[in-house]
């Protein structure tokens, strides 16, 4: 059986943390990837920076994601900016 | 009822957190140590984990992907405190655990899960504990068995 993973964005992290539902995410996924851009965004504010660091320290299934294809990212962003 | 789940490795924390969620909806207060206790050099027992271990009535060991020093310390402390315990282990780690946790160890045989279940029941028969503790151990042990059997097969 393959492990299920997902990529998470800032608003989801903030909402799940606010609702104390971060550990429950483990019911759905074995790995939750936090991209660099999401980390940078959350690290801009002291409160969210501290929370994210605590999440990384407490939950092993939250992992930093630094390896991704920039071409795919550009393609997806362009698609979002220019819906057909 | 307070339950302490000691997991072998960071990768086993997902199983422990799932057990925590399932236990919580059934009225159990389940503590799972933070992931940083399983990373880096083996530290002395985490103070918060030590306190939770003292307060726990039941200790469940979940060793599926690895066995860290922190887990070994927690299980040894649980044993020293005479807690009601079951250690569910993948066969790979059984030889390391066997000398210390002979009577509390249940080795998971993926080919014969019914025998594992029988092992849990037999262990509980000889355990001198309250019925609520036995029920919690049986439920959590069975759930742990299912979660470990269904865990991704690509473990190292």
Helix (H) or strand (E) holding B106: strand B105-107
Chain A positions contacting chain B at CB under 8 Å are: 1-3, 23-24, 26-27, 30, 57-61
Domain positions in chain B: 2-150
Instruction: Give how far B53 is from chain A: nearest CA, Å.
Output: 18
Collect all residues from B whose CB is shorter than 8 A from any CB in A: 10-11, 13-14, 17-18, 20-21, 32, 34-36, 38, 150-154
Least confident of A17-31, B20-34, B116-130: B116-130
First to last CA, chain A: 37
* A24 contact residues in B (CB cutoff 8 A): 17, 21
CATH 1.10.3470 fits B2-150, yes or no: no
Q: For the segment B31-78, what is each residue's pLDDT rounded down to a tens digit?
A: 999 999 998 777 788 888 899 999 999 999 999 999 999 999 999 999
Rounded to 5 degrees, φ, ψ at B81 are -85, 5
Given the structure tokens 């929370």, which residue do they identify? A51
The lowest-confidence range among A29-43, A49-63, B89-103 is: B89-103
> Which helix (DSSP H) or strand (DSSP E) does residue B93 occupy?
none
Residue identified by tokens 């997806």 is A76
Instruction: Over range A39-63, report the average pLDDT.
Output: 95
pLDDT digits (tens, 9 = 90+) for B80-117: 999 989 999 999 999 999 888 888 888 888 788 888 88
Instruction: Tell me if A30 and B32 make a contact (CB, 8 A cut-off).
Output: no
How many domains in chain A?
1
| Nearest CA distance, A53 vs chain B (angstrom) | 11
How confident is the model at residue B41, as a pLDDT?
74
Highest mean pLDDT, choosing among A32-36, B101-105, B127-131, B135-139: A32-36
> Distance, in angstroms, between A68 CA and closest chain B CA?
22
Domain that holds residue A51: 5-81
């Amino acid at each position: 059986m393959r492990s299920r993973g997902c990529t998470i964005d800032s608003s989801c992290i903030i909402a799940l943390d606010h609702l104390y539902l971060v550990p429950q995410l483990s019911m759905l996924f074995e790995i939750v990837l936090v991209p660099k851009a999401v980390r940078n965004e959350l690290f801009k504010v002291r409160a969210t920076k501290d929370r994210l660091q605590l999440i990384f320290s407490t939950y092993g299934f939250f992992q930093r994601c630094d390896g991704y294809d920039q071409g795919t990212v550009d393609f997806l962003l362009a698609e979002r900016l220019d819906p057909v | 009822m307070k339950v302490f789940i000691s997991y072998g490795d960071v990768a086993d924390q997902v199983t422990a957190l799932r057990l925590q969620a399932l236990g919580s909806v059934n009225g159990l207060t389940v503590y799972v140590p933070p992931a940083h206790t399983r990373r880096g050099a083996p530290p002395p027992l985490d103070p918060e984990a030590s306190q939770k271990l003292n307060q726990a009535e039941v200790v469940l060991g979940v060793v599926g992907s690895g066995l860290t020093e922190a887990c070994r310390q927690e299980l040894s402390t649980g044993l020293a405190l005479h807690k009601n315990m079951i250690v569910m282990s993948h066969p790979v780690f059984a030889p390391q655990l066997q000398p210390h946790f002979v009577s509390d160890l249940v080795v998971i045989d993926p080919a014969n899960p019914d025998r594992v279940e029988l092992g849990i029941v037999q262990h509980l028969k000889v355990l001198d504990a309250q019925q609520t503790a036995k029920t919690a151990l049986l439920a959590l042990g069975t759930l742990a068995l299912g979660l470990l059997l269904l865990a991704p097969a690509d473990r190292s």
